[in-house]
Amino acid sequence: MPNARAPGRVNLIGDHTDYNAGRALPMAVDVGTTATFEPAPIASLQLSSDAFTEVATIPVDVDPDPRQLGALEPAWARLAAAVVALARPATGGSVRISSTLPIGAGLSSSAALAVALACVLGVEGPPIVVARLCQQAEHLVGAPVGLLDPLTSAGARAGHALLVDFATLTTRDVPLTEAVDVVVADSGDHRSLREAGYAARVAECEAAAAVVGPLGLAGPDDVVGLRDPLLRRRARHVVTECARVDAVVAALAAGDLAGAGALLVESHRSLADDFEVSTPAVDAAVAALLACPGVHGARLTGGGFGGSVVALAEPGAVGTTVSVGGRPRSVWHLRPAAGCLRPSPP
């Protein structure tokens, strides 16, 4: 039976820049989602998951109409149905989904599911082709995400972060030294982007871009020219975040882990103050990690409104849990992994 495995991702720096023609530095991680496909001469896919008890039946010719997809039950299979609608598999059969990714913790479990399913159902082409299809699938089910998550899951290189320029859709592999431990801590504040303010932030950035052009290509003078104080704060985050991405890449190349960590802290302040996507639990998780000796820097990672915190640390500086608000929260020590492993032959 063919199978495909797609990794989750953690974004080291550069959040809310992808849909603004900006830059980001994500990393595929060594936990992910596997889709196993057993073809059969039938006109539907029987989709099951280790994480849910309900089995979904999805016609291979399912309509990519958002209203129909939004009414599909069980709800967990709606994104999968959107991928099927776009991938148009030649045959039906059964698909089993298994995952080592924690859902809702900000490690992009949805992109890993979409990419693994697209790959196992035969979507071909370079990573950007797979990523665009998966992005469109997310949009069909109401999540206006950018390309960062699916592109990382589809195209990362083991041992490296992926520098992505979303203005040109070019990428560059950035080596990560063994001297840095990439730590991700669960804030305990789980969220769904479809239920949070992600769409509002996208709309606010679009409103700012209507005045000054794509925010990822704008400069500080453009930000100052925005009269609306809310739009000015949103634009300032994107402009300064892109500059921080470039600075972190330079710091990593120079082996300056302390400098890279300080930039992560600056990024979190910008996400919390200018972009307003942090939460008290996330702020507390950042503070808890920064209090650990040997942690160079920490920040919110992902779309925000809850989720996880990423830190750059010396190996051994952080254990398997961290106390956030007096409660132990899970910590994952992650290594930079390769993008989607394509289906093995039957």
Q: Are the C-beta atoms of 154 and 340 separated by less than 8 Å?
A: yes
- Residue 29's nearest CA partner among 335, 317, 343, 286 is 335
End-to-end CA separation in angstroms for the chain? 5
Distance from C-alpha of 261 to C-alpha of 279, rounded to nearest angstrom: 21
Q: How far apart are CA 267 and CA 13, in angstroms?
A: 7
Which residue, 95, 102, 6, is CA-closest to 56? 95
Torsion of CA 185, 302, 98, 189, to 10 degrees: 50
Q: Do you know the residue count of the chain?
A: 346
Question: What tokens appear for 76 in the block?
Answer: 């967990």
Q: Which residue has the tokens 């990362």?
A: 156
Kindly list the catalytic residues: 149
Cα torsion through 135, 139, 145, 146, rounded to 10: 40
Give the type of residue at 192: S
Cβ-Cβ contacts under 8 Å for 278 (sequence gap 6 or more): 268, 271, 272, 300, 304
d(CA 22, CA 245): 9
Measured between alpha carbons, how far is 180 from 199 in angstroms, rounded to an integer? Answer: 34
